[in-house]
Amino acid sequence: MSAPLIRVLVVDDSAFMRGVLPTKIEADPRFKVVGIAANGREAIDKTIALKPDVVTLDIDMPVMNGIDALKEIVRVSTASVIMVSARTEQGAAITLEALAIGAVDFIPKSNGVERIHDKLLAAVEAKSHRTRALAARPAGVVRPSGPPRPTAGARLSAKICIIGSSTGGPQALQTVLSQLPENLPVPVVVAQHMPPNFTKALAQRLNDTCKPRVVEAEDGLQLVKGTVYISPGGMQTRVTATELKVTADQGESLYKPSVDVLAESARAAFGKNILGVMLTGMGADGAAEFTKLRKLGGYNISQDQASCVVYGMPRSLVEAGGSDEALPLDQIGMRIRTALGANLN
């Protein structure tokens, strides 16, 4: 028996987009557009009536805007919401607000529609996760084979912390970084899959709400302990022993920024003295290089299945044998503190 079609509701005040999006979505036979709405109020009514798996939701609309509609949709429905708006390019802060409210992901109209099927699949996994969350088993601590490893909870000799994340990452990063102290004894470098412009807004939002200083990475910036660097979207970020290298992608990865590219450079610069953290996201970016890091003697924490929006990147790391322990999201920040010997002030 074939899998049931993934049901999508398209919401956009642009007649052009209401024509383009359904055609694009249904070009993949796994998806069916079950309804179209032109404003936020209509979106709420059709979400309740049609019970879609995923809602693509514009931000700027008459009658009721997308942010207000999103608040109601996440309250009355289990549908996953993907924000789709021209405004997301200029108004990245509004997009991050939507993610904080409960949207799973976003797509800029200007250049994001080509990846819409990947985004829809991730959104469906997120919906499935929410419906089975109560019954989900935590992944638990990964029991590695081979040489003795540091025990869970032990302090590590790391000189840098690298974090990878994708779908669901902005809110996961908020949770993790908000638990870290201002005086963290190492620099933290984050590769979050995001387009250009959005990573700057993400860094600003995290800097406003977390104790550590959070900035968007720039080429040539010195690595400073206690500072969190967000890799800029559309570029590749690497580290040396002392500074950041931010360059245009040269075909290294589908992802810009790439967790694998960042981790490979960290391993070359710091050897085994690295703490790796893999958060929620679709795909397998980072699994290969994090696993090499673990074999060298570094230490990796992965987010557990039950707390992930999409259990893709952490799953790939666990299955590759590259995770030392898997933890719920709300424990990862505190684990980083103990691993790095940060005080609790």
Q: Respond yes or no: is residue 193 known to be catalytic.
A: yes
Task: Pick the catalytic residue from 285, 316, 323, 324.
Answer: 285
**Cβ neighbours for 25, distance < 8 A, ≥ 6 positions apart:** 8, 10, 31, 33, 56, 116, 117, 120
Instruction: Please identify, in words, the CATH class of the domain defined by 6-134.
Output: alpha beta
Parse the chain into domains and list their residue ranges: 6-134, 160-340
Task: Pick the catalytic residue from 193, 260, 302, 323.
Answer: 193
Helix (H, G, I), strand (E, B) or coil at 1: coil
Is 141's pLDDT higher than 50?
Answer: no
Q: How many CB atoms lie within 10 A of CB 310?
A: 25
For 327-340, write each residue's pLDDT tens digit: 999 999 999 998 98
| Helical spans, DSSP H, in 233-324 | 259-270, 287-296, 313-319
Mean confidence (pLDDT) of the chain:
87
Is 244's pLDDT higher than 70?
Answer: yes
Output the pTM of the full model.
0.87
Q: Respond yes or no: is residue 285 known to be catalytic.
A: yes
Q: Are 6-134 and 160-340 in the same CATH fold?
A: yes
Task: Pick the catalytic residue from 85, 165, 166, 265.
Answer: 166
For 216-226, write each residue's pLDDT tens digit: 999 999 999 99
Q: Respond yes or no: is residue 117 known to be catalytic.
A: no
For 283-321, write each residue's pLDDT tens digit: 999 999 999 999 999 999 999 999 999 999 999 999 999
Instruction: Please identify, in words, the CATH class of the domain defined by 160-340.
Output: alpha beta
Looking at residue 154, its pLDDT comes to 54
Sole residue written with tokens 């992930």: 308
Position 137 confidence tier, pLDDT thresholds 50, 70, 90: very low
Looking at residue 82, its pLDDT comes to 92
Position 125 confidence tier, pLDDT thresholds 50, 70, 90: confident
